[in-house]
C-alpha cells in the first residue's frame, strides 16, 4: 500500500496495490499487518478496527459531518466500492493549528483509494455518481448517545462539495447540526484521543 500524507497531520490517503490481468483485478482491501507496519509509525499509536459499516446512497446525498463524542470517539478507514464520492475530514480539535480546516478526497470504485480519519475530526461525504456504496471500518463501536455533528452546509468551512448544496439530499438529523462558529467541540488538541 502507498500512504499519502495530507496537509493535516494524521489524516491519510491510502492507495492499495492492485494486481491486474485479463480477468480483472485483485487487491487486499485491508491487512492489519501492513496497516500496523506503515500507518502506526506515522500516527505514533496502533489502531484496532472492531466494526465495519456500509451505506448505499444516490446522487446528491450528503452525509455528515459526523463524529462520536468521548469516551466513544472513533477513527475511521473509509472507501467507496461502487460509484464516486467526495469524502471530507474536518479538524474539530480545540487548540489545533488546523482547527476548522479540512481535507477532501475523491474516492471511487476505479481509484480504490481509502481515507483514514483520526479521532477528533468530523467526517462526511457527498455522492457524485448515480449511486454509491460506501464502506468504513471503525475502531470503536457505535454509541447513539455519543452522536455529534457540525453542519455539512457551513460555507465558512470552504468545502467544495462538487454538487449544488441547495439541492442536496440530507437527513433530518443532518439539517440540525450547528455551524462551526456556534459549535463547542468536545475534543481538545492536548487530550490523548488515541
d(CA 173, CA 37): 38
Dihedral in degrees, nearest 10, Cα atoms 164, 166, 171, 175? 130
- Express each pLDDT in 19-60 by its tens digit: 888 998 888 889 899 999 999 999 989 999 999 999 999 999
Name residues whose C-beta falls within 8 Å of residue 117's C-beta, 6 or more positions apart in sequence: 11, 75, 76, 77, 78, 89, 123
**pTM score above 0.75:** yes
Residue 35 per-residue DSSP state: H
- 2-188, superfamily in CATH? Jelly Rolls (2.60.120.10)
Q: Where are the chain's structural domains?
A: 2-188
Estimate to the nearest angstrom the gap between the alpha carbon of 118 and the chain centroid: 8
- Express each pLDDT in 68-111 by its tens digit: 999 999 999 999 999 999 999 999 999 999 999 999 999 999 99
Residue 144 per-residue DSSP state: G
List residues with catalytic annotation.
Answer: 66, 136
pLDDT at 189: 84
- Express each pLDDT in 136-161 by its tens digit: 999 999 999 999 999 999 999 999 99
Confidence of residue 191 (pLDDT cuts 50, 70, 90): low
**In terms of DSSP H, where are the helices of the chain?**
32-38, 40-43
Amino acid at each position: 500500500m502507498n500512504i499519502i500524507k495530507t496537509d493535516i497531520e494524521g489524516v491519510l490517503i491510502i492507495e492499495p496495490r492492485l494486481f491486474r490481468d485479463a480477468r480483472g483485478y485483485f487487491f487486499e482491501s485491508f491487512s492489519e499487518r501492513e496497516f500496523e507496519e506503515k500507518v502506526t509509525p506515522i500516527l505514533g499509536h496502533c489502531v484496532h478496527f472492531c466494526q465495519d459499516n456500509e451505506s448505499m446512497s444516490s446522487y446528491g446525498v450528503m452525509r455528515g459531518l459526523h463524529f462520536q463524542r468521548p469516551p466513544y470517539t472513533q477513527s475511521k478507514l473509509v472507501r467507496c466500492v461502487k460509484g464516486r464520492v467526495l469524502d471530507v475530514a474536518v479538524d474539530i480539535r480545540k487548540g489545533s493549528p488546523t482547527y476548522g480546516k479540512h481535507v477532501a478526497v475523491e474516492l471511487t470504485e476505479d481509484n480504490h483509494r481509502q481515507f483514514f480519519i483520526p479521532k477528533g475530526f468530523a467526517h462526511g461525504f457527498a455522492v457524485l455518481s448515480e449511486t454509491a456504496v460506501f464502506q468504513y471500518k471503525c475502531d470503536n463501536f457505535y454509541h447513539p448517545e455519543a452522536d455529534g455533528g457540525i453542519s455539512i452546509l457551513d460555507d465558512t468551512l470552504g468545502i467544495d462539495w462538487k454538487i449544488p448544496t441547495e439541492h442536496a439530499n440530507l437527513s433530518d438529523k443532518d439539517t440540525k447540526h450547528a455551524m462551526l462558529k456556534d459549535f463547542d467541540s468536545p475534543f481538545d488538541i492536548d487530550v490523548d484521543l488515541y
